[in-house]
Chains A and B, each alone.
Chain A
């Protein structure tokens, strides 16, 4: 297969853990710039392994990963670090460095760009500092700059996590269960923020998510994973009782397929979908009002 126009491409990606568990079994995916992709599937289906194989926090056992033109799976240590700079990662339990301040956490997104001594002395380039402050403003945390990360609420922490990932100036976001530790309202706010940021920056995103309704609401494309294989790949509207049974197994899905939601959420999903096609700049004030 020749290189497509996708920002991220997986070819026959497989991972077998030393314990013998086959977590990924030949996954092919091609993700264009600006697409928000939700990765759904039961626990243990390999969602988490998949995004960690992309930036090689987990070494894949077979297959290839392309980030733009570069083959991530063929890189040496140093080039891998360079490639990682272009992939922002957001975590389930936020994974902020608890004892560092909000600003230090966001600036840690620049670690791949600055030298050791600069980072050790906390003397980041002026542009990085301004960028970090702008990001913190964008996620609504200007007032928290010098707070320690462990003093924040769950939703605030995840915003810091998002700002840290964006500080890397990534081409793609790898998002691992961003809402699993949050309450339903905050979950939606975080998802909305993520989708809007992807739209603003024409960023692709792979979002692992448990919650099928959230995936349908916010993603432009849904991929269902079961036992390490792709069993569904299509638009969120294509999820039917049948496809959900393929992904998760037998269950009464009638309540899940047609979420009883208001207009705004449908809009967000539509906006996310449109984002894959053309970049749209959302009105910042409106976003701030919602969040």
Chain B
């Protein structure tokens, strides 16, 4: 009679040395990383009380106390969102065209890709800090920040869409003897337009969320109001602001998904 044969599923990493080494490394990292967290438990316990106060504040948010400031902040945030989205989209289209390998001159391609890489690798807040330092406090700095962030996002995705376009259609339009711009309008635009509109709406959504953040570093918008409220431990006001932000984001997300379906 043959001996009973054991079966166990094949491990993810075949080499046992490597496998146990990897497990060991992960455990070691977790120990080191968790050890690096210094927690002041007395502070946390005191804070938990405030935490509960905050959770409680969500149940009875105070819209009235700071209503004028909330309205001001929201007005700045919303106008900033609209203008920055329009400006960002307007600039993204030429940069996106330039950053698509299949239609742009290699030198233009490299320049546009470099521009995109730089504008993407910094967090919006860092860009906002720099703009505040240049143009002063207020929503204009926020407008510049969100425009730059929009360019980084939109032109990259637009360029990728163009690179994914059906080469057969591009070739066919080129074979008619058209000029470069005609080629773009007849070969490229019809292929990427629906998704571009979708991306613009999606970005509008993101921009509103960003506009609530840049205020923390002085670039205008509802973030400044929120920052003040939290600094003063006015959690009920903060909760009211956050609920408004969540509500606007939900409405924006819902209507943009409806619009996108209608476009396609």
Contact residues of A with B, CB < 8 Å? Answer: 55, 57, 80-85, 87, 89, 91, 93-100, 104, 108-112, 116, 119-120, 161, 164, 168, 174
Contacts and interface: CB of A to CB of B under 8 A. Distances in A.
Contact of A116 (B169, B173, B179): B179
A42 to B, nearest CB: 22
A109 B194 CA distance: 24
Nearest to B170: A95
Nearest to B192: A99
Contact of B175 (A57, A93, A94, A104): A57
Contact of B176 (A84, A93, A96, A98): A84
B174 A57 contact: yes
Given A55-B175, A91-B168, A99 B193 contact: yes
B233 interface: no
Interface of B: 166, 168-169, 171-179, 181-182, 185-187, 190-191, 193-194
Contacts of B168: 91, 93-95
Contacts of A96: 169, 172
A98 B193 CA distance: 12
A119 B185 contact: yes
Contact of A111 (B173, B193, B194): B173
Contact of A82 (B177, B182, B190): B177
Among A81, A95, A120, the most chain B Cβ lie within 10 Å of the Cβ of: A95
A100 B168 CA distance: 15
B173 A97 contact: yes
Contacts, number: 83
B144 to A, nearest CB: 31
A99 B191 contact: yes
A164 B171 contact: no
Query: Among A82, A83, A120, which residue has the most Cβ atoms of chain B within 10 A?
Result: A120
A131 B211 CA distance: 54
B177 A95 contact: no
A104 B179 CA distance: 17
26 contacts: A57-B175, A81-B179, A82-B177, A83-B177, A84-B174, A84-B176, A84-B177, A85-B176, A85-B177, A94-B168, A95-B169, A95-B172, A96-B169, A97-B186, A98-B166, A99-B190, A100-B190, A108-B173, A108-B176, A108-B178, A110-B176, A111-B178, A112-B176, A116-B179, A116-B185, A119-B182
Given A109-B176, A112-B176, A95 B171 contact: yes
B contact patch SS: helix
Nearest to B173: A108
A222 to B, nearest CB: 24
B172 A91 contact: yes
Contacts of A116: 179, 181-182, 185
A81 B183 CA distance: 12
Contacts of B173: 97, 108, 111
A83 B176 CA distance: 9
A164 B176 contact: yes
B169 A89 contact: no
Contacts of A81: 177-179
Contacts of B191: 97-99
A57 B171 contact: yes
A90 B172 CA distance: 8
Contacts of B182: 111, 116, 119-120
B165 to A, nearest CB: 10
A97 B192 CA distance: 11
Given A95-B166, A97-B169, 12 more contacts: A81-B177, A81-B178, A85-B177, A89-B172, A89-B176, A94-B168, A97-B190, A111-B173, A111-B177, A116-B185, A119-B178, A120-B182
Contact of B186 (A55, A82, A85, A100): A100
Output the residue of B168, B172, B182, B185 with the most chain A CB within 10 A.
B172
A208 B171 CA distance: 17
A140 B190 CA distance: 25
A120 B183 CA distance: 10
Contacts of A98: 166, 169, 190-191
Nearest to A58: B171
Nearest to B186: A108
Contacts of B166: 95, 98
Contacts of B177: 80-85, 111-112, 168
Which of B166, B169, B191 lies at the interface centre, i.e. has the most chain A CB atoms within 10 A of its CB?
B169
B191 to A, nearest CB: 7
Can you list the 5 inter-chain pairs with the closest CB atoms, starting with the nearest? A112-B177, A84-B177, A111-B178, A95-B172, A95-B168
B168 to A, nearest CB: 4
A131 B177 CA distance: 18
Contacts of B185: 116, 119-120
